[in-house]
Amino acid sequence: MSEKLSYNSSLKVPLLPGTGRKHNDEEKAIASHHSTKNTVSFFSTCLNGLNAISGVGILSVPYAVASGGWLSLALLFAIAAAAFYSGLLIKKCMDKNSNIRTYPDIGELAFGKTGRLIISVFMYTELYLVSIGFLILEGDNLSNLFPIGEFQIAGLAIGGKQFFVILVSVVILPTVWLDNLSLLSYVSASGVFASAVIILSITWTATFDGVGFHQKGTLVNWNGIPTAVSLYAFCYCAHPVFPTLYNSMTNKHQFSNVLIVCFILTTVGYASMAIIGYLMFGAKVESQITLNLPLNKVSSQLAIYTTLVNPIAKFALMATPITNALKELLPRTYKNRVTSILVSTVLVISTTFVALAVPFFGNLMSLVGAFLSVAASIALPCMCYLKISGTYMKFGCNTVVIVAITVAAIVMGISGTYTAVIDIVHHL
């Protein structure tokens, strides 16, 4: 949903500034590994970047187009351009100070410990909500594949979706107990491959398995624009991993080219999926397009199973940075193996309860995109760059562009967050 793979990074930066020692940071789906040497090639960095940006957002882009209409695709490209530009600003911030290793470091350089705290809170909250989204996604798709009725356990009525959410949580739990996630990080480094398989499988379903491209859709739906914008923004929330990718490169001057390659390829993938899905199912497309696919086709099953495998492998990579940050807040006497397992277990239990209470994948991802992704990937990089570079004191074309992007991001964030919260409350 995300699901990014940070290259040999460690997200043990404390949630509160000034506590614990500082480590190399993260991504959105972020491996928890210690940063090593600057030996990563241009190609490998591109692959890591594509893995970072490619995620479960690809399942929701058809629903985003259905919400906003065909013209909302222009907003997908606009958000991609703004996110690309803010990625360049992160690079420029790091060029200003060679001591910057992580995204929170940029916030601290710009606005002190308050800046580090704000960026850390946004990052960890986003990771937490995306982890919840993984559980909802698994529950929705498994109950679609294996529909079961409601049953009783210890006097509690449990529906099919709820049962599968709990089952997946139990399966995932041992993975978050691991101290060394190197194996999982390799397994989860599959965003590009998984996205390609999903696109090709769904295209095959439409072309050869009888679904077809028969829906015309609507040109524009103004009421659905905030939802569309929020879901598009969710697709481009990999910025916390960019400092790690930048520091890992052998030739840092090529990082701008890495961003160009990554954003072009991922945007082509997202746009293709959005167009294909909307032409297939029109206004009836679900928040996860896999829920629309005919279950008796091999191509559909391939797309669904590909969708199911990745979140299970990636959940630990999303949760570990949060548990590491929480453990840094504990007194030294409580920093042991038992406490580590306990913290990880409590985190999984809490995400399970929220997933059961708010089982609305599209609305949750819309909230993440509007409230967190827009801020962390567009607004905050712009504001940090203005402060670090001193550009805010000058009036020029560059300043006008950055301020305009920041204001637009704030407006998108407010309207999208309001819409997402209203939708969630309406469905409760």
Residue-wise pLDDT tens digits, 359-386: 888 888 898 998 888 998 999 999 999 9
Q: What is the mean pLDDT of residues 230-252?
A: 87
What is the C-alpha separation between 371 and 121, in angstroms, rounded?
Answer: 12
Residue matched to tokens 């797309």: 303
What is the C-alpha separation between 53 and 83, in angstroms, rounded?
Answer: 11
In terms of Cα–Cα distance, which of 282, 264, 219 is closest to 72? 219
pLDDT (tens digit, 9 = 90+) per residue, 137-161? Answer: 999 999 988 888 777 776 777 887 8
Tokens of 267: 């945007």
Residue 312 half-sphere exposure toward CB, CA atoms < 13 A: 19
Least confident of 174-183, 209-218, 223-232, 284-293: 174-183
Phi, psi for 115 (deg, rounded to 5) = -65, -40
What is the C-alpha separation between 154 and 148, in angstroms, rounded?
Answer: 18
What is the C-alpha separation between 117 and 94, in angstroms, rounded?
Answer: 18
369 to 129, 167, 220, 319, 425: CA distances (angstroms): 10, 27, 21, 18, 17
Tokens of 170: 């139990």
Contact assessment for residue 131 and residue 319, using Cβ atoms and an 8 Å cutoff: yes
Question: What string of DSSP letters covers 211-250?
Answer: --S-----S--GGGHHHHHHHHHHTT--GGGHHHHHHHBS
pLDDT (tens digit, 9 = 90+) per residue, 311-325? Answer: 877 787 778 778 878
Q: Which domains does the chain have, with CATH numbers?
A: 42-427 (1.20.1740.10)
Total-model pTM:
0.83
